[in-house]
Amino acid sequence: MMINVLVAGALGKMGREVCKSVISAGDLRLVGAVDVRGEEQDIGALLGGEEIGVPVKNDLEEELSQKRPDVMVDFTVPEAAAANAKTALRWKVRPVVGTTGMSAGEIKEITEIARESKIGGIIAPNFAIGAVLMINFAVQAAKYFPCVEIIELHHDQKLDAPSGTALKTAQAITAAREDFQQGMRSEIEKLPGARGGCFNGGIRLHSIRLPGLVAHQEVIFGGVGQTLTIRHDSISRESFMPGILLAIRKVMKLDKIVLGLESLLFE
């Protein structure tokens, strides 16, 4: 069965990659490309390939009503993502949302609308399968190595620190090791911040920002006479594509919105 896909944010860095991946997948068909930047040019040609008869449009609702896709993939901006997901649900289109920064209230509202109308979808802040596995492995390791610090490394255009993935890792490890207390309380920081940020009074998070990096993370566990390092590297935006394609296929069988790619990987 062919799955018809519309991409919102089609001219952005992620949107372009998603359009390319959908065009190349045998079981998916790109039927709509929406971006506020408009352009009206064919998305296939814009991406350096052949024309596919899909001009980039700037009115999401009109495109949804005319193209009637099965799935809408959203990589736009936090201010637009929630409204886009609600518009998609109104047209019975399954949202696959990668845009980060939606509020908890917005996510709750979207999941509620989807639950009532029995429409599947996913909201995931990280579609890199390796990053999701890294968190899963870290949770397993934390049961035997409760002392841990996290180093995350990103390109120097990233605005927020620490990364959402580092916070999610710390949260998952904290839940796994329960009330374990880590580290000395009377450390002296000669340079403020030298020991990184402290998550919930426990795990230290260190953020590195440099040109040349994409998105990387090391979770370093220390035990008696040994250390264990779990590392994930997103070398390019292509790293997110297998997870996004997996989500597009899997939401077709869902009747509610799930949060996080892990919900689809470890069902």
Any contact of residue 32 with ligand NAD (CB under 6 A)?
Answer: no
Angle, nearest 10°, between helix axes 78-90 and 104-117? 10
Any contact of residue 11 with ligand NAD (CB under 6 A)?
Answer: yes
Any contact of residue 155 with ligand NAD (CB under 6 A)?
Answer: no
Residues β-bridged to residue 242: none
Any contact of residue 35 with ligand NAD (CB under 6 A)?
Answer: yes
Residues 116-135 that bind ligand NAD (CB under 6 A): 124-127
Q: How far apart are the first and last CA of the chain?
A: 23
Task: Describe the chain by its helix, strand, coil percentages, rounded to 5.
Answer: 35, 25, 40
Which residue of 174, 240, 245, 248 would you call a contact of ligand NAD, by CB under 6 A? 240
Sheet of 257-259, strands arranged across: 56-57, 28-34, 3-8, 71-74, 94-97, 121-123, 257-259
Stretch that binds ligand NAD, among 74-82, 132-140, 179-187, 188-196 (CB under 6 A): 74-82
Q: Please report how close the Cβ of residue 240 comes to ligand NAD at its closest, in angstroms.
A: 5
Closest to ligand NAD by CB, 159 or 191: 159
Helix (H, G, I), strand (E, B) or coil at 122: strand
Any contact of residue 214 with ligand NAD (CB under 6 A)?
Answer: no
Assess whether 154 carries a catalytic annotation: yes
Inter-CA distances, 225 with 59, 157, 164, 202, Å: 60, 38, 31, 21
Active site residues: 154, 158
- Binding residues (CB under 6 A) for ligand NAD: these are 8-9, 11-15, 34-37, 60, 75-77, 80, 98-101, 124-127, 240
